[in-house]
């Protein structure tokens, strides 16, 4: 065997290129296992995920994920700030659907402090959580399709998402990092023009989603690149900690909105899409169906939303409205006490989780009766879903890993906390 | 008989004479156990056909700073069949900061335990790959301990060489 100079291409490879021969085999260099570093700066890793791959030819033999490039220590920060101050930080966890994180945080704090929330505020929260789910799934589907080469879908889904961001703009003045919920309710009432825009959005959404789906469901390249790729067997899915759409693509009908209903999900009629294949294609189908179900939930929420208060009447725990602070003594005192010393929930610990767009988003809070939590643990769905990545990429090709990461839909802001 | 009573009866029958304390707070069931039983109890809870706590949602720790048993390791597990969440707690002393790993029971415990090691310095015996998960391997401290300052320790993170 003659030795090749550095940078020189093996003559067999050139010959194979000329012959358009796709199953070339070379009995040296290429047959050895090699290590490939993927990320943290890689467009298909959806942020700053780094993977170390051991390859045999093009087949993945082993995969080791490396996290922590976006670690900001949010759990440490939570221990040093009041429950109110932490709301804006939850925006930065899963930055694709910040509204859902806001809802999850305030629900956990309200459970800890024992605050009853007015019905209208609960309906508004349900509406924004479902819109956040649609927004998140639109990015997931679009980015996923872009990863496997269907660029147009990404533009079309982002066009839909843009409309949701416009709704959030009217609702709370911010498009991206919303911080819209407050402990005991929401920051301000949903204005009629915001609700009208939501109605307009869901009226046209399903048709537009159908349009996007037609681009994908009859696209042979898309289907063939995903069908039977990254299969998670049903009996291992729970063991690896899958939740959310990824778990439902494996055949489990598990949805926290149905299993442990929070807010007013008991009064809403919705289906849980379940697929049994557990591959990338099933995960995509679950997301598309869920977006459709979410728009149905939003429609019911708009119909059922009552008039009324949007903040709980518990002056020691809930911040008063700004106009009242400037005109009334009691409210000024309460505002001063809450801002300076916090809401002091009773000694105890709770865990509360919601069905976030990626899976089960939970907060474990321990209170010692002080204004700030003694301990705050974020149970982030992306972290747990990523854990199964080595299991489902092993045995597939390098080009499949891009599709598999896209189908798991990790958000590194959440996985790295 | 609701599921909570069945659970308590079954666990107490299976582990007689061991210290097992059930308590409730805001409708959440808590089981306090001794750390030497953790793997046996978890195995039983997961594999018993009536209980089936198949999903390990979360493992974390609490640093109580000045208490005698300084750390508490907290497990959240969930049974899909019975729609029930259980919190298991076990206390550790600072002088022997280790507990048996439950990765043999749930594979998802792997990263949760790595995170607890990274953040609190709790050693998990028999863990297959106990490395730090977020911070670099040469970092000396465990930042979620209460004696680690919020601003960090200057110079503790090595910068890339020029």
Element housing B25 (H / E)? strand B20-25
Distance from CA of B12 to the nearest CA of A (A): 24
Q: How far is residue B44's CA from residue B151's CA, in Å, rounded to a whole number? A: 43
- By Cβ distance, the residue of B25, B57, B144 closest to A360 is B57
Distance from CA of B55 to the nearest CA of A (A): 6
Query: Does the distance separating the beta carbons of B111 and A239 come in below 8 Å?
Result: no
A279 and A342 within one domain: yes
A5 and A128 within one domain: no
Residue in chain A lying closest to B145 (CA): A76
- By Cβ distance, the residue of B111, B135, B144 closest to A387 is B111
Query: Does the distance separating the beta carbons of B108 and A362 come in below 8 Å?
Result: no
Query: Does the distance separating the beta carbons of A259 and B83 come in below 8 Å?
Result: yes
- By Cβ distance, the residue of B107, B134, B144 closest to A416 is B134
Q: Mean of the pLDDT values across residues B1-30?
A: 84
pLDDT at B51 over 80: yes
Residue A22 domain boundaries: 1-31
Residues of chain A with C-beta less than 8 angstroms from the C-beta of B132: 68
**Could you say which residues from 125 to 144 on chain A have a Cβ atom under 8 Å away from some Cβ of chain B?**
none
Q: How far is residue A306's CA from residue A58's CA, in Å, rounded to a whole number? A: 58
- Total domains in the fold of chain A: 2
Residue A372 belongs to some domain of the structure: yes
Span B60-118, pLDDT tens digits: 999 988 888 889 999 999 998 888 899 999 988 888 888 999 998 898 899 999 999 99
- By Cβ distance, the residue of A76, A241, A353 closest to B56 is A241
pLDDT at B18 over 80: no
Residue in chain A lying closest to B112 (CA): A384
pLDDT at A308: 87
Query: Does the distance separating the beta carbons of B144 and A364 come in below 8 Å?
Result: no
Residues of chain A with C-beta less than 8 angstroms from the C-beta of B119: 75
Residue A378 belongs to some domain of the structure: yes
**What CATH number has the domain bearing residue B100?**
3.30.460.80
pLDDT at A21: 62
Residue A346 at interface with chain B, using a CB cutoff of 8 Å: no
Residue A319 belongs to some domain of the structure: yes
Residue A69 at interface with chain B, using a CB cutoff of 8 Å: no
Residue B137 belongs to some domain of the structure: no
Return the HEC string of chain A: CCCCCCCCCCHHHHHHHHHCCCCCCCCCHHHCEEEEEECCCCHHHCCCCEEEEEEECCEEEEEEEECCCCCCCHHHHHCCCCCCCCHHHHHCCCCCCHHHHHHHHHHHHHHHHCCCCCHHHHHHHHHHHHHHHHHHHHHHHHHHHHHCCCHHHHHHHHHHHHHHHHHHHHHHCCCCCCCCEECCEECCCCCHHHHHHHHHHHHHHHHHHHHHHHHHHCCHHHHHHHCCCCCCCHHHHCCCCCCCHHHHCCCCCCCHHHHCCCCCHHHCCCCCCCCCCCCHHHHHHHHHHHHHHHHHHHHHHHHHCCCCCCECCCCCCCCCCHHHHCCCHHHHHHHHHHHHHCCCCCCEEEEEEEECCCCEEEEEEEECCCCCCCEEEEECHHHHHHHCHHHHHCCCEHHHHHHHHHHHCCCHHHHHC
Residue A64 belongs to some domain of the structure: no
- Total domains in the fold of chain B: 1
pLDDT at B50 over 90: no
Residue B61 belongs to some domain of the structure: yes
pLDDT at B16 over 90: no
A86 and A2 within one domain: no
Residue A61 belongs to some domain of the structure: no
Residue A56 belongs to some domain of the structure: no
Q: What angle do CA A97, A144, A287 make, to 5 degrees?
A: 60
Query: Does the distance separating the beta carbons of A362 and B28 come in below 8 Å?
Result: no
**What CATH number has the domain bearing residue A132?**
1.10.645.10
Residue B150 belongs to some domain of the structure: no
- By Cβ distance, the residue of A67, A79, A348 closest to B25 is A348
A240 and A338 within one domain: yes
Residue A52 belongs to some domain of the structure: no
Residue A197 belongs to some domain of the structure: yes
Residue A119 at interface with chain B, using a CB cutoff of 8 Å: no
Distance from CA of A257 to the nearest CA of B (A): 12
A331 and A193 within one domain: yes
A409 and A340 within one domain: yes
Residue A67 at interface with chain B, using a CB cutoff of 8 Å: yes
Mean of per-residue pLDDT scores for chain B = 87
Residue A70 at interface with chain B, using a CB cutoff of 8 Å: no
Strands B84-92 and B98-100: unpaired
Per-residue pLDDT of chain A (417 residues; tens, 9 = 90+): 445 554 455 666 666 666 666 565 656 555 566 777 787 777 777 778 888 887 777 888 888 888 888 888 899 999 989 898 899 999 888 888 899 999 999 999 999 988 989 999 999 999 999 999 999 999 999 888 888 888 888 899 999 899 999 999 998 888 888 889 989 888 888 888 989 999 999 999 888 888 888 888 888 888 888 888 888 888 888 888 888 899 999 988 888 888 888 888 888 888 999 998 888 899 999 999 999 999 999 999 999 889 888 888 888 888 888 888 888 888 889 888 888 888 888 999 999 999 988 889 999 999 988 888 999 999 999 998 888 888 888 888 888 888 898 888 888 888 888
Residue B136 belongs to some domain of the structure: no
Residue A72 at interface with chain B, using a CB cutoff of 8 Å: no
Q: What angle do CA B95, B96, B100 make, to 5 degrees?
A: 165
Residue B145 belongs to some domain of the structure: no
pLDDT at A27: 60
A121 and A22 within one domain: no
pLDDT at A47: 79
| Chain A, chain B: beta-carbon pairs less than 8 Å apart | 85
Q: Which residues lie closer than 8 Å to A153 by C-beta, 6 or more apart? A: A141, A142, A145, A146, A212, A215, A216
Q: How far is residue B142's CA from residue B133's CA, in Å, rounded to a whole number? A: 12
């Amino acid at each position: 065997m003659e030795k090749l100079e550095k940078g020189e291409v093996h003559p067999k490879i050139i010959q194979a290129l000329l012959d358009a021969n796709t199953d070339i085999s070379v009995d040296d260099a290429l047959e050895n296992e090699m290590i490939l570093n993927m990320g943290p700066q890689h467009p298909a890793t959806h942020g700053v995920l780094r993977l170390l791959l051991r390859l045999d030819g093009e087949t993945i033999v082993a995969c080791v994920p490396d996290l922590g490039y976006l670690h900001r220590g949010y759990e440490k920060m939570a221990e040093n700030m009041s429950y109110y101050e932490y709301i804006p930080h939850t925006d930065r966890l899963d930055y694709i659907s910040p509204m859902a994180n806001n809802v999850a945080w305030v629900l956990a704090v309200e459970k800890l402090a024992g605050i009853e929330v007015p019905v209208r505020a609960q309906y508004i929260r349900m509406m924004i959580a479902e819109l956040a789910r649609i927004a998140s799934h639109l990015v997931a589907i679009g980015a996923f399709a872009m990863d496997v080469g269907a660029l147009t879908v990404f533009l079309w889904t982002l066009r839909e998402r843009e409309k949701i961001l416009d709704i959030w703009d009217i609702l709370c003045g911010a498009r991206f990092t919303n911080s819209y919920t407050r402990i005991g309710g929401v920051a301000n009432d949903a204005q009629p023009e915001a609700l009208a825009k939501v109605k307009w959005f869901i009226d046209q959404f399903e048709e537009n989603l159908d349009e996007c789906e037609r681009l994908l469901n009859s696209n042979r390249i898309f289907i063939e690149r995903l069908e039977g790729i990254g299969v998670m067997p049903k009996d291992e899915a729970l063991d690896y900690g899958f939740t959310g759409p990824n778990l439902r693509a494996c055949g489990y009908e598990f949805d926290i909105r149905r299993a442990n209903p929070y807010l007013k999900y008991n009064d809403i009629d919705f289906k849980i899409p379940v697929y049994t294949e557990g591959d990338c294609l099933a995960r995509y189908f679950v997301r598309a169906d869920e977006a459709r179900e979410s728009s149905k939930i939003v429609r019911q929420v708009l119909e059922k939303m009552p008039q009324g208060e949007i903040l709980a009447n518990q002056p020691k725990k809930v911040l008063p409205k700004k106009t009242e602070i400037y005109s009334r003594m009691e409210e000024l005192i309460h505002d001063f006490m809450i801002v300076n010393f916090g809401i002091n929930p009773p000694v105890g610990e709770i865990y509360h989780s919601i069905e976030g767009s990626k899976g089960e988003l939970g907060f474990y809070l321990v209170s010692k009766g002080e204004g700030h939590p003694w301990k705050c643990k974020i149970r982030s769905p992306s972290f747990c879903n990523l854990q199964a990545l080595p299991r489902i990429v092993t045995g597939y090709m390098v080009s499949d890993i891009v599709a598999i990461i896209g189908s798991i839909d990790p958000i590194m802001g959440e996985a790295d906390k | 008989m609701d599921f909570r009573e069945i659970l308590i009866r079954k666990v107490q029958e299976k582990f007689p004479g061991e210290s097992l304390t059930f308590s409730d707070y805001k409708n959440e069931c808590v089981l306090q156990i001794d750390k030497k039983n953790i793997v046996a109890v978890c195995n039983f809870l997961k594999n018993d056909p009536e209980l089936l706590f198949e999903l390990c949602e979360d493992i974390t720790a609490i640093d109580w700073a000045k208490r005698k048993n300084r750390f508490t390791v907290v497990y959240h597990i969930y049974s899909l069949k019975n729609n029930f969440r259980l919190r298991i707690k076990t206390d550790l002393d600072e002088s022997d900061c280790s507990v048996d790993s439950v990765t043999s029971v749930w594979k998802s415990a792997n990263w949760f335990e790595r995170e607890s090691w990274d953040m609190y310095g709790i050693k998990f015996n028999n863990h297959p790959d106990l490395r730090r998960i977020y911070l670099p391997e040469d970092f000396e401290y465990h930042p979620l301990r209460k004696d680690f300052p919020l601003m960090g320790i200057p110079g503790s993170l090595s910068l890339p060489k020029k």
